[in-house]
Amino acid sequence: MKYMLPVLSLLLCSSLTAQLTTAPDGGNRKASVRENIGITDVSIEYGRPGVKGREGKIWGQLVHTGFIDQGFGTSKSAPWRAGANENTVIEFTTPVLVEGKPVPAGRYGLFIAYDPVSPTLILSKNATSWGSFFYDDKEDALRATLKPVALDKSVEWLKFEFMEETDSSATVVLSWEKLSLPFHIATDAVNLQLASFRRELRSEKSFQPGWQSWNQAANYCIVHNTNLQEALGWADQSINGVFIGNKNFQTLSTKAQLLALLHRDAEADVLMKEALPLGTAPQIHAYARQLLQQKKMKDAFDAFKLNYDKTPNTFTTNVGMMRGYSALNNYKKAAEYAQKALPQAPDKVNKDNVERMLKLLQEGKDVN
């Protein structure tokens, strides 16, 4: 028994250092937000302090102005930690522009040097310290001046939000009490996507699932009207690539669209003549609708007619013939096909749409 007491004492001492799971200090909350901008993943991890009855005492008081000595840590000139407890951390998976300034991919400590007129956003290469007690301006990756925005309604718990999102940018807004601090993040979304395609088309994704990957990359270039020459090579691979090539409506029509964008219209027309018989009724209908948008009325009619001949007297092909004849200003003939399509409508929305177009035709108006 004489050996038990030291062991028990050791266990008791070690247990004093253990901590049970509790809420963050001071009733603050931990939070994270994440948003994709193009293929760039942007995430923010932060602590959420509450106002807790301190209205009018947040900005310039609890959130100190500028840089101060907080009396702890190594920093003698520290900004606000933009939250509570640990570092507020922002991470970018690709290079970005923050307030128009380049920032490499990585994790950064996010700080604010508050000022009522021109607060400063700071991104630090040190993302692992506690708060701003160890802030060192030599580790700054970015400083940018922000424009504070007054809020009509008080925000109790500090929060970060992504707003005004586009395919290539978003505005991050820090809001607390009656003030918000927005800053803009932008990416070179198209070039980042193209670079990703080039990497992935050299990986297992180049042959699994196969032609779909190459066609997807080529279609992206069509939608964004960019990188057309390289996309043409991707389209060729989707059609003729060893083990993966597949000559179908999708691959042939994709290449034809690229040829048209490259002003090689005669080659595009030949390829579409080969593609059309391979298409399903919805695919051919959609292609004919594209021709209508391009004001190629005769070509659109021919595509609608081919679709009807392949799959006669269905809702899709009757509507196609209605649109085709309307595009040629033959409203009487178009109305006949509208009448055929009306009882075939699969739901009320389609039925109402055909009725609307039939009325236009009876008034001598184009439905396209």
Q: Quick: pLDDT tens for 306-324.
A: 999 999 999 999 999 999 9
pLDDT at 279 over 80: yes
Read off the pLDDT of each residue in 27-38 and give the average, rounded to a whole number: 90
Q: What are phi and psi of 330, to 5 degrees?
A: -95, 80
Whether the Cβ atoms of residue 95 and residue 102 lie closer than 8 Å to each other: yes
pLDDT of residue 28: 74
Whether the Cβ atoms of residue 141 and residue 123 lie closer than 8 Å to each other: yes
pLDDT of residue 208: 78
Peptide bond into 95 cis (omega under 30): no
pLDDT at 250 over 80: yes
Q: What do you get for the CA distance between the two ends of the chain, in Å?
A: 96
* Distance separating alpha carbons of residues 275 and 291, to the nearest angstrom: 15
Handedness of CA 49, 53, 57, 61 (dihedral sign): negative
pLDDT at 5 over 60: no
Helical spans, DSSP H, in 114-227: 189-200, 211-224
Residue spans per domain, the chain: 26-187, 190-362
pLDDT of residue 2: 43
- Strands 89-92 and 106-113, how do they pair? antiparallel
Q: Quick: pLDDT tens for 34-90.
A: 999 999 999 999 999 999 999 999 999 999 999 999 999 999 999 999 999 889 999
CA distances from 228 to 19, 199, 254, 274 (A): 60, 18, 11, 21
pLDDT of residue 209: 81
* Distance separating alpha carbons of residues 345 and 273, to the nearest angstrom: 29
Whether the Cβ atoms of residue 25 and residue 131 lie closer than 8 Å to each other: no
Q: Residue 14's pLDDT band (boundaries 50, 70, 90)?
A: very low
Q: Give the torsion through C-alpha atoms of 184, 187, 190, 193, to 10 deg.
A: -140
pLDDT at 4 over 50: no
Read off the pLDDT of each residue in 219-242 and give the average, rounded to a whole number: 96
pLDDT of residue 23: 63
pLDDT of residue 69: 96
* Distance separating alpha carbons of residues 328 and 181, to the nearest angstrom: 56
Q: Which option is the CATH number for 190-362: 1.25.40.10, 1.10.287.110, 3.40.50.2300, 1.20.120.420?
A: 1.25.40.10
pLDDT of residue 27: 65
pLDDT of residue 24: 60
pLDDT at 189 over 70: yes
Q: Which segment of 8-12, 102-106, 235-239, 267-271 scores lowest on mean pLDDT?
A: 8-12
pLDDT at 11 over 70: no
Strands (E), 16-148: 29-37, 40-48, 89-92, 96-98, 101-103, 106-113, 120-124, 140-145
pLDDT of residue 18: 56
Of 78, 24, 65, residue with least CA distance to 48: 24
Strands (E), the chain: 29-37, 40-48, 89-92, 96-98, 101-103, 106-113, 120-124, 140-145, 149-163, 169-186
The percentage of residues in the chain with a pLDDT greater than 70, rounded to a whole number, is 93
| Size of the chain, expressed as the number of residues it contains | 368
Of 117, 107, 57, 109, residue with least CA distance to 85: 109
Q: Quick: pLDDT tens for 281-304.
A: 999 999 999 899 989 899 999 999
Is this model's pTM higher than 0.95 or not? no
Q: Quick: pLDDT tens for 115-174.
A: 999 999 999 999 999 999 999 999 999 999 999 999 999 999 999 999 999 999 999 999
Give SS3 for 262.
coil
Token duo for residue 257: 């669209």
Q: Which residues make beta-bridge pairs with 35?
A: 42
Token duo for residue 12: 């008791």
Instruction: Map 218-239 to HEC letters.
Output: HHHHHHHCCCHHHHHHHHHHHH
Handedness of CA 281, 284, 287, 292 (dihedral sign): negative
pLDDT of residue 294: 85
